[in-house]
Amino acid sequence: MPDSSLPPFDADASLLQRIDTLNRRYGHVIDEDKLEEWPKFFTEDGRYMVTTRQNHEANMPVGLILCENRAMIEDRILALRSANLFEPHSYRHLIDPPVVTGLDGIEYSLQTSFACFRTVQSSAPEIFCTGKYLDRIIDDGSILRFKERIVVCDSERIDTLIVIPL
Amino acid sequence: MAPLDFKPNDFSEVPYSVYSDEQIYAQEQKQLFQGDAWHFLAMEIELPNAGDYKTMPVGDTPVIVVRDKNGNINAMVNRCAHRGNLVCIEDHGNLDCLTCVYHNWTYDLQGNLATIAFEKGIQGNGGMAEDFDKSCHSLQRLRVETYCGLAFGTFSDDVPSLTDYFGPEMCGNIQRLLGRDMELLGRFQHGLDGNWKLYMENVRDTYHATLLHSFMTTFRLNRLSMKGAVEVSEGGLHHLTYSIRAQDNDQGQYDAKEIRAQKDDYALKAPELLESWPEFECDTTLAIQSLFPNFSIQQLSNVITLRLIVPKGPNKSELTWWVLGAVEDTPEQRAMRIRQSNLVGPGGYIAMEDGAVVGWVRRGVTGAEDKKSILAMGGRDVERISESRCNELAVRGFWQGWHGLMES
């Protein structure tokens, strides 16, 4: 787990640029409903968790969403498409440039702020969630993938439901 | 008093006005939330040490729940006896005494008024009126009782003791699930777009489970053909529905093509999500229990949760989930519980629809205050028990209990 108390590292501009691009593409596939692409951002053993600041700070292990590998991440999309019922809605992510909190060989630790607006059918957009991504990214030289992405929501309160990933 | 437009002794038709009427909402606050019912406050493990407190609402009333230096849990209204300011601003913490920041009045952890700033004035000038008696100005206290690690409070002096209020059948299930050392694994909240009773009806509605929650049917987590029952306590107040592990391969009515959820080609890529172990000798795999008015306890496979739905005006409510494990769990069992918890909460595979449907019904019944919903599945009476879960008797029981307290 990245330690957010660490001071930001100086990472070279090209690395920051690559990570920033990764985050933008990540937001893009979610916001543009290319959700089948979303699991590909993770390593095969990649972990994805949506939690709240309160739960995260209290080291609570349960997530609003908790996927322990890419197969579980794919199942979230399968269920969203084929099993779960909800009112049609879309997200619009605004993702900050990343702050590097650790560099260890090919594994990088990052913290990135985001805001996510939700539009339910033809209603007005609303702020659905603000928070931070706590990431561990693996760099195989050409492709960056999430070994872990913990989405820490600033508020304990989610409006109605969460089915599309953050 | 607003009219409660039910037929005499028939709770199979519910006037839609109960979900939106301001007068009914005000009457509920008085008759239910400040009346003869017990309200869930906290798990004891949330307040392990002397001075640990949390703030939460009971109905609309802000309440402080605190463990005192004798180890007892106390609850009092979060309202300074002086000018009505919130005494505790933060939602949780640890304190030696309770201090109102406005004029520095302090209370002990039982809520007794201890000190008043400048009580004797400054250099002999001013000070509180001579007839002011501190002992008459404590924080307003709730009666508090605990059972199986759960603390409940009430404003009523008349409601019977907690276990008498629940009755032996309801206590049996609480004891089965929570009568051991428990661990809090997480807590979630979500705001719902409708009246709190729409959610409690849903908790008690065994008819919708396999129909609304496609995920459940698809993976055969529960079928109405599984052995089990719905039980309703005397007067309708509380309910328990449960099912026992299926031993048969009976496809029953679920092969009927009209069941939307059935998809032959649908399989999880990570079926370990549903890995479970037989935790209870009775082989109960699903138990949903509601404790009147707005609290419920459930076991879904190995996921054990508490739910509290708090009204926020007639048309909004707020739901809190507590996800629990047992201290005795092996690491493997704990991991299974954590994985299975993907089934519950605001993002839960078989829970997310329940939150959404509250908003959909609210929108559906807008402008229909003179019309009624139908709860006639399984008849019109409130029987005490039914082996068929295709039955709305527990929802009828809710309205029987609600009506009784509202008219009392």
Q: What is the pLDDT of residues B172-217, one digit of tens each?
A: 999 999 999 999 999 999 999 999 999 999 999 988 887 888 887 7
CA atoms within 13 A on the CB side of B125: 2
Question: CA A118, CA A1: separation in Å to the nearest integer?
Answer: 28
Cα of A78 to nearest chain B Cα, Å: 8
**Is B78 in a helix, a strand, or coil?**
coil
* Distance in angstroms between the alpha carbons of the first and the last residue of chain A: 19
Option in B187, B212, B272 nearest A85 (CB): B212
CB contact under 8 A, A160 and B184: no
Domains of chain B, residue spans: 39-146, 168-407
Q: So what's the pLDDT on residue B252?
A: 43
Between B225 and B262, whose confidence is greater?
B225
pLDDT at B68: 98
Look-up: residue for tokens 């306890």?
A: B297
Eight-state DSSP code of residue B31:
I
User: Looking at chain B, which residue has its C-alpha nearest residue A61?
Assistant: B185
Q: Is the pLDDT of residue B388 over 90?
A: no
Answer whether B187 sits within 8 Å of A162, measured CB to CB: no
* B351-375 as b/e: b if 16+ CB within 10 A: bbbbbbbbbebbeebeeeeeebbeb
- For the segment B22-32, the average pLDDT, to the nearest whole number, is 97
Hey, what are A29's tokens? 């596939």
Confidence of residue B257 (pLDDT cuts 50, 70, 90): very low
Whole-number pLDDT of residue B1 = 46
Helix (H) or strand (E) holding A80: helix A70-82
Query: What pLDDT, on the 0 to 100 scale, is given for residue B211?
Result: 86
pLDDT value of residue B337: 97
Average pLDDT over residues B261-277: 76
Look over chain B and give the mean of its residue pLDDT values, rounded to a whole number.
91
User: Which band of pLDDT confidence, cut at 50, 70 and 90, is reported for residue B16?
Assistant: very high
pLDDT of res. B216: 72
Res A117 pLDDT > 80: yes
pLDDT of residue B238 exceeding 60, the answer is yes
Question: What is the average pLDDT across B281-300?
Answer: 95
pLDDT for position B268: 85
pLDDT tens-digit readout, B47-73: 999 999 999 999 999 999 999 999 999
Residue B221 has pLDDT above 90, yes or no: no
> From CA A65, how far away is CA A76, in angstroms rounded?
9
pLDDT score of B4 more than 90: no
Asked whether B116 and B136 are in contact (CB, 8 A), the reply is no
pLDDT recorded at residue B6: 86
Nearest-CA distance B160 → chain A (Å): 34
A63 reaches B (C-beta below 8 A): yes
Residue B217 Cα, gap to closest chain A Cα (Å): 9
Q: State the fold for domain B168-407.
A: Naphthalene 1,2-dioxygenase Alpha Subunit; Chain A, domain 1 (3.90.380)
For chain A, domains (ranges, CATH) are 13-153 (3.10.450.50)
Q: Yes or no: say if B187 and B322 are a contact pair by the CB < 8 Å rule.
A: yes
Q: What ipTM is given for this predicted complex?
A: 0.93
Query: Identity (one letter) of the amino acid at A14?
Result: S
Let me know how long chain A is: 166
What's the pLDDT at B253? Answer: 43
Residue B89 has pLDDT above 70, yes or no: yes
CB contact under 8 A, B189 and A65: no
A50-54, B255-259, B294-298: segment of lowest average pLDDT? B255-259
Q: How confident is the model at residue B3 (pLDDT cuts 50, 70, 90)?
A: low
Give the list of residues 6+ apart from residue B181 with CB closer than 8 angstroms, or none. Answer: B326, B327, B328
**What kind of architecture, by CATH, is found in domain B39-146?**
3-layer Sandwich (2.102)
CA-based radius of gyration for chain A = 15
What pLDDT is stored for residue B222 in this prediction?
Answer: 53
Least confident among B25-39, B203-217, B248-262: B248-262
Measured between beta carbons, the chain A residues lying within 8 angstroms of B188 are 52, 55, 64, 156, 158
Tokens 């496609």 -> residue: B214
How much is the CA Rg of chain B, to the nearest whole Å? 23
pLDDT of residue A6: 56
Between B3 and A29, residue with greater pLDDT: A29
Q: What is the mean pLDDT of residues B311-340?
A: 98
Q: Are strands B239-244 and B385-386 parallel, antiparallel or unpaired?
A: unpaired
Q: Is B370 left (phi over 0), alpha (psi -120 to 50) or beta?
A: alpha
- Sign, CA dihedral A34-A40-A42-A48, equals positive
Question: Which of B210, B268, B352, B361 to probe the A interface (max A CBs under 10 A)?
Answer: B352
B-interface mutation test, from A73, A91, A160, A162, most B Cβ less than 10 A away: A160
Residue A2 in this model has a pLDDT that exceeds 90: no
**Does the beta carbon of A77 lie under 8 angstroms from any beta carbon of chain B?**
no
Q: Which of B46, B190, B272, B300 to mutate to test the interface with A (most CBs of A within 10 A)?
A: B190
pLDDT, position B249? 46
Within 8 A of B184 by CB-CB distance, chain A residues are: 60
Label the pairing between strands B228-232 and B385-386: antiparallel
The pLDDT score that the predictor gives to residue B5 is 78
In angstroms, how far is CA B371 from the centroid of its own chain?
A: 28
User: How far apart, in whole angstroms, are the C-alpha atoms of residue A158 and residue B161?
Assistant: 35
Q: What is the mean pLDDT of residues B146-168?
A: 98
pLDDT value, residue B332 = 97
Q: What is the pLDDT of residue B408?
A: 84
pLDDT digit string, tens, across residues B300-310: 999 999 999 99
User: Which chain A residues are Cβ-neighbours of B193 within 8 angstroms?
Assistant: 159-160
List the single best residue of B210, B318, B342 to mutate versus A (max A Cβ within 10 A). B342
Q: Does A64 touch chain B if contact means CB atoms closer than 8 Å?
A: yes
Over residues B313-322, the mean pLDDT reads 98
Please count the helices (runs of H) and the strands (runs of E) in chain A.
3, 8
Backbone angles phi, psi at A16, to 5 degrees: -60, -40
Question: Which pLDDT score, from 0 to 100, does residue A12 have?
Answer: 84
